[in-house]
């Protein structure tokens, strides 16, 4: 059985950020993830907004980590070469909404967040397409957008580059204690560890129960989205919110860091920890809500719908050391603004872990990751030079997103390798465009089959799903 100093359970944005911090120390650090890639659950399906932090209740953990996390995300997205844009956000209201904005302004002041109330004329200068009824907005210049899954993948890649280990398809099914250590059972074997850090998202409370730590009741709230074609990007400059309610920040219209536009999310309460199927009813809610803030809804430009699941344990994040189990740290119930908060949560969790581990910092570790070669972003001269070095950068595989064979091969051989069609998609966008992989899906499968040296029938879509069962001519 392999022994580790510290094991993180769960490879979402929180777990990968924690592993990233741990990997800078002289430690044997491990991350166990249930799925076949990191960022496969909530971190894959959210709004991708780097929140400013004006709407969190002052004094909560959400307010604390949101405000601390915001500048860290901007800095680390640069270091990890993850798509991001500090485009600002506006909360827009009609004539009767000014009091609501003033209440947000009060919270912003208490949280130390810069905001400004704008009238209609000033709002239109930032965002010409707000709905005609909009009279005021609250502008937060430090808000923006980031690719949430690429952020988690970036943390994972950096952690692996710094010597941490990630085991995928390794759901923790049992936790027992032996000789002052925890033994974690997974289908990939057993792992022994001095310290456990629970970052298991929707299943965080289950992991606590397995370890005999504090018991928490969990509820969930699904959010459904429309994704619009990149041709809509020119119509949206900032993140446009309505006034927040008890159910959340409301249905936004926002650009994505990768150049699309999203409308969403809904807020559907559910007890099902796997409920991520969009329903027609909730898409109708989006159809009715978007025109209230935005005057150019383009539902006919929708290229996809998706859903994400908020995990709620009470009204705040649960971050801290277990009082019932020694050497067991929890970072669970991380609902919105968990993406923005993740780097600050990770710093806090590292300090808690160090109370047990007392590890020395490594003399050297990677901070700035090598830049990705994204053909779409390069000049003609740069592309010509790259193709002269490696002709695979001259072969476009994904026509919609202009992704080349070279970029797909890079994704497959990255520090945390992409081994499925979806994992390739999340790393380099092959299959994320208008045709959603209709043209390039089989080419990506062939490249995966060749690079991983596995038969085509073993190439998975993601989350264990098979695509091809066998070659037609192989069937008797």
Q: Are 46 and 244 in contact (CB under 8 A)?
A: no
Q: How far is the CB of 254 from ligand FAD (least distance, A)?
A: 8
Cβ atoms within 10 Å of 347's Cβ, excluding its own: 16
Q: How far is the CB of 45 from ligand FAD (least distance, A)?
A: 7
Closer residue to ligand FAD in complex, CB, 261/445: 261
Q: Which of 51, 84, 203, 372 is catalytic?
A: 51
Q: Are 98 and 136 in contact (CB under 8 A)?
A: yes
Closer residue to ligand FAD in complex, CB, 302/456: 302
> What is the DSSP annotation of 350-377?
HHHHHHHH-PPBPS----SPPPP--GGG
SS3 55: coil
CA distance 233 to 261: 6
Q: How far is the CB of 15 from ligand FAD (least distance, A)?
A: 5
Closer residue to ligand FAD in complex, CB, 41/226: 41
CA distance 73 to 148: 10
51 is catalytic: yes
Closer residue to ligand FAD in complex, CB, 118/207: 207
Which residues are at the interface with ligand FAD (CB under 6 A)?
A: 9-15, 32-35, 40-43, 46-49, 51, 171-172, 199-203, 207, 223, 265, 308-310, 334-340
CA distance 103 to 301: 36
Q: How many CA atoms lie within 13 A of 137 on its CB side?
A: 30
Q: Tell me which residue has its CB nearest to ligand FAD.
A: 338
Q: Are 306 and 41 in contact (CB under 8 A)?
A: no
Q: How far is the CB of 53 from ligand FAD (least distance, A)?
A: 10
Q: Which residues contact 351 (CB under 8 A, 6 or more apart)?
A: none
CA distances from 20 to 3, 83, 161, 385, 470 (A): 19, 19, 10, 33, 39
CA distance 201 to 178: 26
Q: How far is the CB of 316 from ligand FAD (least distance, A)?
A: 12
Closer residue to ligand FAD in complex, CB, 268/400: 268
Q: How far is the CB of 384 from ligand FAD (least distance, A)?
A: 38
- Cα angle, residue 260 at apex, residues 255 and 262 outer, rounded to 5°: 60
Closer residue to ligand FAD in complex, CB, 30/447: 30
| Residues forming the active site | 51
């Amino acid at each position: 059985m392999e022994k580790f100093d510290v094991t993180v359970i769960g490879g979402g944005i929180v777990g990968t950020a924690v592993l990233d911090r741990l990997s800078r120390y002289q430690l044997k650090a491990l991350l166990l993830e249930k799925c076949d890639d990191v960022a496969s659950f909530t971190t894959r399906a959210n709004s991708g907004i780097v929140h400013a932090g004006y709407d969190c209740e002052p004094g909560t953990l959400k307010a604390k980590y949101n405000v601390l996390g915001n500048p860290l995300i901007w800095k680390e997205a640069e270091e990890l070469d993850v798509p991001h844009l500090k485009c600002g956000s506006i909360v827009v209201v009609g004539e009767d909404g000014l009091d609501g904005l003033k209440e947000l302004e009060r919270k912003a002041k208490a949280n130390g967040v810069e905001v400004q109330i704008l009238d209609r004329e000033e709002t239109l200068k930032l965002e010409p397409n707000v709905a005609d009824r909009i009279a005021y907005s609250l502008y937060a210049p430090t808000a923006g957008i980031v690719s949430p899954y690429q952020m988690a993948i970036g943390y994972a890649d950096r952690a692996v580059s710094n010597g941490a280990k990630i085991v995928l398809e390794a759901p923790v099914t049992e936790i027992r204690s032996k000789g002052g250590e925890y033994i974690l059972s997974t289908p990939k074997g057993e792992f022994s560890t001095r310290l456990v850090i629970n970052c298991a998202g929707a299943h965080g409370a289950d992991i606590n129960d397995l370890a005999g730590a504090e018991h928490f009741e969990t509820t969930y709230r699904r959010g459904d989205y429309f994704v619009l074609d990149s041709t809509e990007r020119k119509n949206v400059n900032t993140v446009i919110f309505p006034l927040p309610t008890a159910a959340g920040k409301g249905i936004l219209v926002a650009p994505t860091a990768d150049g699309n536009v999203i409308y969403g999310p809904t807020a559907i309460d559910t007890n099902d920890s796997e409920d991520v199927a969009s329903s027609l009813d909730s898409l109708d809610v989006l159809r009715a809500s978007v025109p209230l803030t935005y005057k150019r809804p383009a539902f006919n430009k929708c290229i996809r719908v998706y859903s994400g699941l908020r995990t709620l344990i009470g009204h705040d994040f649960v971050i801290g050391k277990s009082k019932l189990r020694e050497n067991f740290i929890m970072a669970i119930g991380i609902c919105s603004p968990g993406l923005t908060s993740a780097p600050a949560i990770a710093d806090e969790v590292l300090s808690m872990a160090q109370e047990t581990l007392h590890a020395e910092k490594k003399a050297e570790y990677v901070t700035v990751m090598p830049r990705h070669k994204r053909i779409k972003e390069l000049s003609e001269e740069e592309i010509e030079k790259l193709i002269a070095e490696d002709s695979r950068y001259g072969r476009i595989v994904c026509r919609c997103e202009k992704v080349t064979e070279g970029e797909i091969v890079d994704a497959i051989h990255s520090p945390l390798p992409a081994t499925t069609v979806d994992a390739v998609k999340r790393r380099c966008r092959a299959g994320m465009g208008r045709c959603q992989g209709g043209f390039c899906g089989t080419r990506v499968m062939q490249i995966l089959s060749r690079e991983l040296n596995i038969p085509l029938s073993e190439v998975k879509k993601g989350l264990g799903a098979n695509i091809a069962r066998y070659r037609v001519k192989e069937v008797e």
